[in-house]
Amino acid sequence: MKRQADIHPRDRFLFWRTDFVGIAMMVSGALLLAVNFGIVPASPFVLARVLGILAMVAGLVFLFFTGAGRWLTWFLIPAGVLFTIGVVTLVLGAGMFMSPVAAELTAAGFGLTFLAVFLTRRNQWWALIPAGAFLGVGLWAFVGTRFPVIGWHPVPGVLCVGLSFFSIYLSAIQRQRMRWCLLVGSLVVAAAFAYLLALLLARWLALWPLALVVAGLCVPAGFLLADWRRTHAAVPPVSIPPGPDSPA
């Protein structure tokens, strides 16, 4: 495959990487067919349908220009935003745009947009942070309306942000330079679980000994991990081959 720098400007259009555009067009066509045949419910208002389709088409246009590479790949962000808004407007309508379901779909679309930015530009590791944050907001809206134990406390959002730092470390090529992500991710995930444990203890006070059980499990786990690291870090003794003058 030719590199973008080796392509003549006159012929650059022929070598655009339009694989994302083809996938998006197929998904859009399948979604619109499902809407037309009543498989996916859509807004009964014509204006909402028209605005939704226009936003989806605008997103596809931006997505098409990302195939030119270089700085135009950043068009992936407005493409994902417009495409997400178009789908939400088409399916739910403008009247339900502030509903929890719309928040779930919108946040999921924005999160997938930044995830696509990272997948197309692997050196832009920071894109995993807003991706995790938006996916966490979508999960937060989902949990808040269906699990009254947690309610609208931002436990899912904090947890997803912490997991995004772990994803940065796991996807890094030079992991030694990104070890700080493990520290930040561990602190954020621990804060999320502590928040969740506090909510559970506040709701069921009889479960407060569970904190002692968790702490008791962490202590031997820490000692076992330390012993394992000490065992694997020990240098094996160097065996000296016998010389010609050594006794048999």
- 55-67 residue pLDDT tens: 888 888 888 777 6
Sign of CA dihedral 129, 133, 134, 138: positive
Instruction: Give CA separation, 204 vs 63, 143, 176, 181, in Å.
Output: 50, 19, 42, 34
Rounded to an integer, the average pLDDT of 149-172 is 89
Q: Sign of the CA dihedral 37, 38, 41, 46? A: positive
Q: Which residue has the higher pLDDT, 16 or 15?
A: 16
Q: Are 41 and 48 in contact (CB under 8 A)?
A: no
Q: Closest by alpha carbon to 17, among 3, 35, 36, 6?
A: 3
Q: State how far the Cα of 90 lies from the Cα of 64, in Å rounded to an integer.
A: 21
pLDDT at 1: 40
Q: Is the pLDDT of residue 163 over 90?
A: yes
pLDDT band of 110, cuts 50, 70, 90 = very high
What is the average pLDDT value for the chain, to the nearest integer? 78
- Mean pLDDT in residue range 11-16: 42
108-130 average pLDDT score: 90
Our measurement of the distance from residue 12's CA atom to the centroid of its chain's CA atoms, rounded to an integer in Å, reads 32
Label residue 8 by pLDDT band (50, 70, 90): very low
**pLDDT tens, position by position, 78-107:** 988 998 988 888 888 766 777 888 889 999
Confidence of residue 15 (pLDDT cuts 50, 70, 90): very low
